């Protein structure tokens, strides 16, 4: 586990906890539904960071080090993709939170289509 990432997670957890406490003080008459919404909004922010950090930590493999049958192929031509290095890929997480992953990107040597393999 990356130390900077772990620190970021701790800070964010603290923010969630203290933010919720402050929110409660500012909304002493909140209904259960409002409390649920406030908590869920904060948790989904933390969740997005956990997902992003964990996914990043497991994405360091290079295709070329994989056995050929596990390397990604063009869906149309079924040729092995050429590695084009890492590109940032933005995904929609749960609750609409944007998650940025660095993923290997490849292009097909025949049709030139570029894609991120699943994962």
Positions touching Zn ion (CB under 5 A) are 74, 76-77, 108, 110-111
**Nearer CB in complex with Zn ion: 57/110:** 110
For residues 5 and 101, what is the distance between their CA atoms, to the nearest angstrom? 14
What's the min distance (Å) between Cβ of 81 and Zn ion?
8
Q: Which residue has the tokens 């990356």?
A: 2
For residues 11 and 14, what is the distance between their CA atoms, to the nearest angstrom? 5
Q: 3-state class of 82 per DSSP?
A: strand
**Nearer CB in complex with Zn ion: 12/81:** 81
**Nearer CB in complex with Zn ion: 73/97:** 73
> CB-based burial of residue 81 (10 Å sphere; 0-12 exposed, 13-18 middle, 19+ buried)?
buried
What's the min distance (Å) between Cβ of 13 and Zn ion?
44
What's the min distance (Å) between Cβ of 82 and Zn ion?
11
Cα dihedral 34, 38, 39, 44 sign: positive
What's the min distance (Å) between Cβ of 86 and Zn ion?
21
**Nearer CB in complex with Zn ion: 95/109:** 109
């Amino acid at each position: 586990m990356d130390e900077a990432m772990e620190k970021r997670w701790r800070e964010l957890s603290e923010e969630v906890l203290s933010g919720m406490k402050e929110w409660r003080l500012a909304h002493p008459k909140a209904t259960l539904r409002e409390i649920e919404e406030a908590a869920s909004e904060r948790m989904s922010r933390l969740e997005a960071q956990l997902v992003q950090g964990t996914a990043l930590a497991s994405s360091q493999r290079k295709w070329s080090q994989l056995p050929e049958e596990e390397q990604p192929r063009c869906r149309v031509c079924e040729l092995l993709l050429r590695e084009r290095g890492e590109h940032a890929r933005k995904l929609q997480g749960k609750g609409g939170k944007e998650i940025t992953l660095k993923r290997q990107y490849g292009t097909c040597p025949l049709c030139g289509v570029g894609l991120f393999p699943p994962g």
